[in-house]
Structure 1
Amino acid sequence: MIYESTRSITSSSVQEWARRFSAREGGATWELSWRPEPLLTREQARDAMELTELCSTGAEPGARAADLAAELGITVQYVMAVLQRRRRERGTGS
């Protein structure tokens, strides 16, 4: 489940997060814990957190994940690799 406030977007199932970084032109004011650049809009940050959850289940992420990744200009494979590396760094996964 994803939780949203005016300053952060978190998840009950993953340790990653999005937070409002600062006020900037163009509405891109959010950063992700696993991808601090580029800054995102709130909607993009919400989509990225949904994608994070989908890529962290251990199951095939599916078409929704592919759609979200495409909207963010990345691939599901990239997201899964970054999240796996972060889990290893934290000692919480292989």
Structure 2
Amino acid sequence: MIYESSRSITCSVSPEWARRLAGRAEPAWELSWRPAPLLTREQACAALALTELCSAGSEPDESAELLARQLDTTVAHVMAVLQQRRRDRGEGA
């Protein structure tokens, strides 16, 4: 599940987040696992939906590929980044 407020977006299956940087016009959203470039709110929502799909424990489906393309990345890259972030937090793979 995705949780949105005017200043943050999070999901229920991962500690990753997007936050709106104060005083900035769009794009103004920073993503925890990819701090640059800044994103629009729509892109930030897509990024957290992709995060959720890549963190759910099952193989991401075609919808994940579509979201990844919106963010100019790949599902494989996102999964590798998220896995490394889990290791960095001491959560294992």
5+ unaligned residues in a row in structure 1: which ranges?
A: none
Aligned partner of 2:65 in structure 1 is 66
What is the CA-CA distance between 1:11 and the residue it aligns to?
1.2
Q: Tell me the distance in 2 between the aligned counterparts of 1:80 and 1:43.
A: 21
Q: Tell me the distance in 2 between the aligned counterparts of 1:28 and 1:52.
A: 19
Alignment of 1:24-35 (within 5 A): 24=25, 27-35=26-34
Q: Report percent identity of matched pairs.
A: 63
TM norm structure 2: 0.95
Q: Tell me the distance in 2 between the aligned counterparts of 1:54 and 1:73.
A: 17
SS of the aligned residue for 1:39 comes to: strand
5+ unaligned residues in a row in structure 2: which ranges?
A: none
The alignment's C-alpha RMSD in Å is: 0.8
TM norm structure 1: 0.94
SS of the aligned residue for 2:57 comes to: coil
What is the CA-CA distance between 1:19 and the residue it aligns to?
0.1
Aligned pairs, how many? Answer: 92
Q: Tell me the distance in 1 between the aligned counterparts of 2:10 and 2:92.
A: 19
**What whole-Å deviation, never above 9, does each CA across 1:4-29 have from its counterpart, x for those lacking one?**
000000112110000001413xx200
Amino acid in structure 1 at the alignment position of 2:12 = S
Aligned partner of 2:8 in structure 1 is 8
Moved over 6 A (4+): none
Q: Tell me the distance in 1 between the aligned counterparts of 2:38 and 2:21.
A: 8
Name whichever structure is richer in strand by fraction. Answer: 2
